[in-house]
Structure 1
């Protein structure tokens, strides 16, 4: 037995409560090493002496290139849990607890026939507290998100003028647009979005700002005049809700515009300003630098027009907590996507979450964290993050064709193990966004590869997010290209119908609580087979190899829901099949 490969981490993604009476435990072992892994568990505070243990066999649920991951779920479970493992190989076994291997059960210290020591030798989960169970809003778990960059989308029904403008704005500033998209334009195309199958809008910033992208915010309490009015936005949220849909907006609180009134106050009054502590690394007197000059203050990504806010400051936290509450209460938005979330003070996010959840307990909070976001997903800050690692793995397999099917499934298995199950189910999965190249562009314009990736996006655990225009085959690698105007005049009925079909299959046959498992990943034939299973079992087969792949052995016994590129069950390149197995 390869003992060096065995690992378990208490109170982590390896041991977590799914609900008050359901607890999941995971253990890692070398790939193919164990014959059997058994979980023993008991009530760590039970009156029996010694503790009475029950046992369940753990299932090998996931594998990657090096390891197998075993999982067992206890339901119903004690509120106070102690547990340990028995690992078996070749007819021999060892006990594993306290991060050590033992030939025997823990030694018990007895006194007058009673055990006085021993319970602390086991792994522990002290108490399943209701307040510590991580749970995203149920509506969000079932959502399919359509991400709109407002300037680039529409200014009327199936229309975008494509012309920029400049308007005088409050606070003595100028507001710019590049392509002319408006709030009313979004509202006039809700039929189109809903008919595709989307249930939630995510809008990039709509607040008063200077540049067309609106990430340099001047006024956090009003809509940018190039996009419309506050009344337009309220009308939009009401129209969205009347359709049974939801709307999420983009919060930019790491930085602001250099014309944001508190920063303007610092420019005017220097270190005597009441806001002098609201910003990072100020050098007095504070000046707005000329072209080519280095700023005398910290800013976002070295962009002088976006000074960085000191989000650890109580005044800053109170101000933006009020912003978060205001848009929930006045405009009834259903949540926030939070920009550059990993550069913001964590207590800021706790304060923000508290304010938003008091205004609406079902509001969702999604952080922009590109890396492993476990620190932000413990129930006190965010419900979800933008899952850029998901995109990276899809990019390498579907678009760039750098990885094999086996490696792709290993990476996706690791995605399932990164967080507790219910946190994984809430991740905002994406193929592209306003910050990265269009996925179709990465595919070199190969729509077949995009289709295969979109199918995986919608069949995988998590909440799928689609950037506007992907369904119309928008491509582009550079910023002005991937933020191009919505091509309303182009007919892409084939792609739109495909999106509708896949989203309908997801809606009808897959639930957020459905588990994921890899069935087959071929390194040479680049054939991917995986399942989502719960009330139903849906099997997805995707082939990315050059030579036709024999998929018949995976297609027998299922009801065909979707098929592309099959000849007598031989899947050609970029072919796929979706089957209802049970």
Structure 2
């Protein structure tokens, strides 16, 4: 047995409370392990620990597992009667049996050696206040990300003086303005509701001298080119009336270089009352080049976005006041934190405490592109932008030599990184304002484009589409991924086919609970290397997803009593079977 492949600890995603009653325990092993048992019980079943007691727990086999590239992930759910749990593992590989405790591995003889004190894994107490709780509404939400400057121009009178004519083609300049604003978004609320959207994520809307608004000048004033604070409140109210939640972008890692606090630092140097509010290393502060010389820290070496010191209690209180203002003034439902992995953990804990008392189901989302378990333990973010999932999905179509098992391994990795309740609210996306657009990723193949969307809408978590994805908008990397929305073509009906396809996917997601379920596995029941097959299991029904990524058609068995809920390039036959063409999709209700 390869002991080096076996891992468990009583923390993070390996042992955690799902709720007040249920305890999730996971263990990772190599593929040589055939069976895993857990022996568990109350720590005090045999008396007070440390005496001469002989503790014996209840033995159960762990049946549920997911396959990773080099490991098997075994998972079980326990319901400790007295809210405590003491446990160890029994592992089998062929005829070999080994026992796994907190301090290592033992044979049965070693485990039963006279005088040996065994170091069990122990969950000391399932405190309700320590349970990671995520807002339930997020799992039911279909998000729509809007880059305000390029979505819709509803009031040309407030557009910047240098605004260009609305242009739906390639964008080459980082600095152009096209006049999108909040009134334009308000005008399109009926369009979003008809599409099936139930959540809007807005890129920054507060005053900043750029088209992207990530260099904030005033956190409490909507940028005049977008409208007024009253306009934003009206947008939220109208969205709520349409059954749509609203999430704002919180840019708290840095400010703009024209923020009054930073201007005070530039003017007064170390004597500024805000000298410790930023991260200045060399005085006096000089301007005119990027910050690779280390004179002060900024976002991505950009001198016009100096980094805030979120370790400073005064900075924390300043930003907490802004969040209170946003919730009280605009009645928003969540915040997405820009550069969410560089903000201090102490500040995020303070945010979580405050917002949970203002709005119990408030949603906190971090922009983190990597493994984020440190931020997702229940006292900071609820969720992160699930870029690992977008990479896992894209890679299967990029690497044509990869088989279906690789897809399975990569997807399973994404959903064994965090708690189950976090998986329910992960912010799943395929593209954004920071990446090239999905159509570009799919190499302009619409069939592959919709195959990847089919995966997005059948994964655990909360799917988000970037504005324009519903009409298969094109666009390469920034700034081209921020093209103007083609409203003239949409109004003229030229995008009806694409919009109707998106409506089908959104309707499927909202109709079938199994699309949202965290329970899934890969039966790999079609003997073709590049035919993806996975089963989603819900409380009300189950669905089976088939994606043909082969270069030839494949036969898919389809029972007569199965209901087809979404398909592309699928031809059924009277005997219940059918042909799925290359790049085709078949999703059936079981």
Match of 2:554 in 1: 549
Shift of 1:270: 1.5
Shift of 1:51: 3.9
Cα gap change, 1:295/1:523 in structure 2, threshold over 3 Å: closer, same or farther?
farther
Q: Does the aligned pair in 2 maintain the 1:521–1:527 contact within 8 Å?
A: no
Shift of 1:340: 0.5
Distance 2:292 2:394 in 1: 38
Distance 1:364 1:516 in 2: 25
Cα gap change, 1:434/1:401 in structure 2, threshold over 3 Å: closer, same or farther?
farther
Match of 1:562 in 2: 566
Match of 2:17 in 1: 17
Distance 1:370 1:412 in 2: 16
Match of residue 148, structure 2, among 147, 150, 157: 150
- Cα shift readout 1:320-373 (whole Å, capped 9, x = no counterpart): 011111101111100100000111221121122222222212111000110100
Distance 1:489 1:153 in 2: 12
Match of 1:501 in 2: 504
Match of 1:331 in 2: 330
Match of residue 572, structure 1, among 548, 571, 581: 581
Distance 1:403 1:166 in 2: 49
Distance 1:9 1:545 in 2: 41
Structure-to-structure mapping, 1:509-548, within 5 angstroms: 509-510=512-513, 512-520=516-524, 525-535=529-539, 536-548=541-553
Shift of 1:282: 4.4
Match of 1:59 in 2: 63
* Worse-superposed segment, 179-188 or 346-355: 346-355
Which stretches in structure 1 are left out of the alignment for 5+ residues? 111-116, 168-175
Match of 1:198 in 2: 197
Distance 1:220 1:208 in 2: 7
Distance 1:76 1:580 in 2: 35
Shift of 1:177: 6.9
Cα gap change, 1:97/1:217 in structure 2, threshold over 3 Å: closer, same or farther?
same
Number of residue-to-residue matches in the alignment? 562
Distance 2:202 2:157 in 1: 19
Distance 1:187 1:398 in 2: 37
| Bigger fraction of residues in strand | 1
Shift of 1:90: 3.3
Structure-to-structure mapping, 1:352-391, within 5 angstroms: 352-391=351-390
Cα gap change, 1:419/1:241 in structure 2, threshold over 3 Å: closer, same or farther?
same
1:82 is aligned to 2:81: no
Cα gap change, 1:42/1:105 in structure 2, threshold over 3 Å: closer, same or farther?
farther
* Worse-superposed segment, 515-524 or 92-101: 515-524
Which stretches in structure 2 are left out of the alignment for 5+ residues? 48-52, 164-174
State the TM-score, normalized to the length of structure 2.
0.89
Q: Does the aligned pair in 1 maintain the 2:158–2:224 contact within 8 Å?
A: no
Q: Does the aligned pair in 2 maintain the 1:400–1:443 contact within 8 Å?
A: no
For 1:258, what is the secondary structure of its paired residue?
coil
Match of 2:311 in 1: 312
Distance 2:113 2:326 in 1: 58
* Worse-superposed segment, 482-491 or 68-77: 68-77
Distance 1:468 1:418 in 2: 28
Shift of 1:516: 1.8
Distance 1:312 1:242 in 2: 39
Match of 2:272 in 1: 273
For 2:211, what is the secondary structure of its paired residue?
coil
State the TM-score, normalized to the length of structure 1.
0.91
For 2:341, what is the secondary structure of its paired residue?
helix
Match of 1:171 in 2: none
Structure-to-structure mapping, 1:413-562, within 5 angstroms: 413-490=412-489, 491-510=494-513, 512-520=516-524, 525-535=529-539, 536-552=541-557, 558-562=562-566
Q: Does the aligned pair in 2 maintain the 1:165–1:226 contact within 8 Å?
A: no
Q: Does the aligned pair in 2 maintain the 1:400–1:442 contact within 8 Å?
A: no
Q: Does the aligned pair in 1 maintain the 2:158–2:226 contact within 8 Å?
A: no
For 1:222, what is the secondary structure of its paired residue?
strand
Match of 1:235 in 2: 234
For 1:121, what is the secondary structure of its paired residue?
coil
For 1:263, what is the secondary structure of its paired residue?
helix
For 2:106, what is the secondary structure of its paired residue?
strand
- Cα shift readout 1:435-485 (whole Å, capped 9, x = no counterpart): 010011121211111100001001011111110000111111132321000
Cα gap change, 1:192/1:77 in structure 2, threshold over 3 Å: closer, same or farther?
farther
Structure-to-structure mapping, 1:168-247, within 5 angstroms: 178-247=177-246
Distance 1:340 1:270 in 2: 26
Root-mean-square deviation (CA, aligned residues, Å) is 2.6
Q: Does the aligned pair in 2 maintain the 1:521–1:529 contact within 8 Å?
A: yes
Shift of 1:108: 8.6
Distance 2:481 2:149 in 1: 13
Match of 2:6 in 1: 6
Shift of 1:211: 0.5
* Worse-superposed segment, 486-495 or 201-210: 486-495
Distance 1:36 1:128 in 2: 28
Distance 2:413 2:278 in 1: 39
Shift of 1:500: 1.2
Cα gap change, 1:43/1:151 in structure 2, threshold over 3 Å: closer, same or farther?
same
Cα gap change, 1:245/1:293 in structure 2, threshold over 3 Å: closer, same or farther?
closer
Shift of 1:576: 1.1
Shift of 1:11: 1.7
1:35 is aligned to 2:34: yes
Shift of 1:486: 0.6
Q: Does the aligned pair in 2 maintain the 1:425–1:463 contact within 8 Å?
A: yes
Distance 1:416 1:480 in 2: 31
Distance 2:280 2:527 in 1: 51
Shift of 1:424: 1.7
Shift of 1:58: 0.8
Match of 1:113 in 2: none
Distance 2:485 2:419 in 1: 37
